[in-house]
Amino acid sequence: MEYMVIWSDGQKFGPADIAMLNQWIAEGRIKPETELELVVDGTRLSAASLPGLNFGGMAAAPTEPAATPAEPTPVEAAPASGGAEQYFVVGADGGKYGPADPATLTQWAAENRLNPNSELESASTGARTVASQVAGIIFPVAAAAQANPMQPTPTGQYSSSSVESNYPRPGFAGNQPTSDDLRKFNWGAFLLNWIWGLNHKYPLALVALALGIVGALFRDPSMAIISMLISFGQLGFCIWLGVKGNEIAWNSGRFATVDEMHKCQVIWAKWGVGVLVVGCICGLGLGIMAGIGLAAMGGGLGR
């Protein structure tokens, strides 16, 4: 049989069988007075009164559920005054998201945004630990049973066989860009270069702006060769941005899904083409006006 775990605020988590409940007991997430609900018929009982649960030294005589079951005490962090302990989720890029209490983190785990190896930081003490070591966070049985693609290395850092995905991204294993996704040329990155780069947390894209400014300083005809080399360098860098654009965009952590990333890059490409077309029209217009002006001046001089 399977049971739902009911916290003092009325939220339900699970379902879980006896083996999983015993695992949560060993992790300090369930106490004898924790209230359970039978999935089949909704019958409620205290964890201490359920045969098969092993509380060891914690076990007390079976009692009716307390009116307000005690909340689990978080690992390595004291409960914050006035509420449950709050934690930040630490992404692969070092960014922090939150804070959130164990109930909210459990919801994120149910949505596949959080896995047992995700790194958490206590909002009150700054102590860091993995999500599986924090009492009160319950992970789906399927997620706990399957191998996690984000595994900690001996140094405590997280690595993945594919491009690391920054939090929050549901379904780490099934939500990674393919090599074809990353190889597609990113026209937004090519055409809008440094503007696109700053929006995608890639300050190195400012190299394109710097080359443009330096190139403008060498417009003198006597420095034509230097100006041409700088222009070729700027063009080459922009092409490189276009080639690496999708990879940079994904690693920026701005997108929860690959599809979301692609839709955003299409918008950037459209804006890039629009800016290019407007620039060409303005340049052509200025050229025509300059030609008319010179023709008028020539006609005036010939009279």
Task: Reply yes or no on whether the pLDDT at 144 is more than 50.
Answer: no
Tell me the C-alpha distance between 134 and 101, whole Å. Answer: 11
**Residue 152, preceding peptide bond in cis (omega within 30° of 0):** no
Neighbouring C-alpha atoms within 13 Å toward the C-beta of 283: 6
Q: Pick the closest to residue 153 from 122, 109, 113, 117 (CA basis).
A: 117
Task: Reply yes or no on whether the pLDDT at 28 is more than 50.
Answer: yes
Q: What is the pLDDT of residues 220-277, one digit of tens each?
A: 888 888 888 999 999 999 999 999 999 999 888 888 788 888 999 999 999 999 999 9
Question: In sequence order, what are the residues at sequence separation of 6 or more whose Cβ sits closer than 8 angstroms to the Cβ of residue 65?
Answer: 33, 34, 35, 44, 45, 46
Return the pLDDT at 264.
93
Angle between helices 206-217 and 224-251 (to 10 degrees): 170
Q: Pick the closest to residue 70 from 27, 31, 100 (CA basis).
A: 31
> pLDDT > 90: what percent of the chain?
24
Task: Reply yes or no on whether the pLDDT at 169 is more than 60.
Answer: no
Tell me the C-alpha distance between 20 and 253, whole Å. Answer: 33
